């Protein structure tokens, strides 16, 4: 696993955005799609902002780009669940449409834009099918990852998740819900944070990704950085340590998160 310390979150974003755009160009030349795995939330936002800036300055054909999202909140609905409306402030689908696809397409002329059909989410009715869908696309070229600050959750996989877990519905850990009060500040309290989610699995990430880039920044992610940088194998007490078992794994931190005690 390669570890890189950048001066600022913006520097992380610029570095990874440049890599992504170069790899999209190479995939275009080979006539194949480029699949980018994306989390929502604060950690990857500098990458999405940098993609918009860099594409505005030097457009790249993103018509073959596929965005594969990691997870979505679920709300009780009779005897089952349903996702929140995309307009909800905490909707992962809404975040992806606005902050990832929206930024990319806003920077590009019509002919180069990513089609809406290339935006992928796990299916509530058949979660396990997501793994097969991504495998059919050839796997995930680069999966951007983020670690929960308080419990190391990755996507919505709680502590204790099995190494071979696949895309599924999970009960959110209490600490995960508390972490997400900061991620989505419009929540007025823990009681408003959903208790269930649809998530890509730990095994899905490791099996389907050709390369991964874990992003941690800010003082609040120092413990995450320490746990991840020391990991040599998956530790279910801190699920983001699957990074250690992924192919071509990289850990990207800013100076604040990467500062040693």
Q: What is the pLDDT of residues 207-260, one digit of tens each?
A: 999 999 999 999 999 999 999 999 999 999 999 999 999 999 999 999 999 986
Residue 207's pLDDT is what? 98
- Strand pairing partners for 119? 67
What is d(CA 36, CA 20) in angstroms, rounded to the nearest whole number?
8
Give the pLDDT band (50/70/90) at residue 133: very high
Strands 65-69 and 34-38 come out as parallel
Rounded mean pLDDT of 34-58? 97
What pLDDT digit, counting tens, does each position of 139-168 carry?
Answer: 999 999 999 999 999 999 999 999 999 999
Q: Which of 198, 67, 71, 73 is CA-nearest to residue 134? A: 67
- Check pLDDT > 80 for residue 261: no
Q: What fold does the segment set 2-47+68-85+120-254 form as a domain?
A: Rossmann fold (3.40.50)
Domain extents in the chain: 2-47+68-85+120-254
CB atoms within 10 A of CB 3: 14
DSSP for the chain, please give it.
-EEEEESSHHHHHHHHHHHHHHHHHHHHHTT--EEEEE--SSTTHHHHHHHHHHHHHS----TTEEEEE-EEEEEEETTEEEPPPTTSTT-HHHHIIIIIIHHHHHTS-GGGSPPGGGEE---SS-TTHHHHHHHHTT-BSEEEEE--TTT--BTTBPTT--TT--SEEEEPPHHHHHHHHHHSTT--SGGGS-SEEEE--HHHHHHHBS-EEEEE-SGGGHHHHHHHHH-SS--TTSGGGGGGGSTTEEEEEETTTT---
pTM above threshold 0.85 = yes
- Strand pairing partners for 75? 82
Residue 102's pLDDT is what? 98
């Amino acid at each position: 696993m390669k570890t890189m310390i950048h001066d600022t979150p913006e520097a992380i974003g610029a570095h990874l955005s440049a890599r992504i755009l170069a790899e999209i160009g190479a995939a275009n030349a080979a006539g194949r799609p480029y699949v980018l795995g994306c989390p929502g939330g604060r950690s990857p936002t500098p990458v999405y902002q940098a993609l918009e800036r860099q594409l505005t300055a030097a457009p790249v054909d993103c018509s073959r780009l596929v965005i594969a999202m990691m997870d979505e909140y679920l709300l009780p609905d009779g005897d089952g669940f349903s996702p929140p409306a995309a307009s909800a402030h905490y909707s992962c689908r809404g975040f992806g449409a606005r902050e990832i696809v929206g930024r990319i397409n806003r920077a590009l002329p019509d002919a180069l834009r990513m089609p809406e059909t290339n935006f992928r989410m796990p299916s509530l009715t058949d979660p396990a099918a997501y793994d097969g869908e991504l495998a059919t696309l050839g796997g995930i070229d680069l999966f951007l990852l983020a670690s929960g600050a308080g419990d190391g959750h990755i996507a919505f996989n709680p502590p204790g998740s099995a190494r071979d877990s696949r895309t599924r519905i999970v009960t959110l850990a209490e600490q995960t819900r508390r972490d997400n009060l900061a991620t989505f500040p419009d929540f007025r309290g823990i009681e408003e944070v959903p208790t269930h989610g649809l998530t890509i699995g730990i095994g899905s990430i490791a099996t389907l990704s050709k390369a991964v880039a874990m992003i941690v920044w800010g003082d609040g992610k120092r413990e995450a950085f320490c746990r991840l940088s020391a990991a040599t194998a998956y530790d279910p007490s801190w699920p983001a340590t699957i990074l250690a078992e992924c192919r071509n794994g990289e850990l990207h931190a800013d100076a604040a998160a990467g500062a040693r005690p």
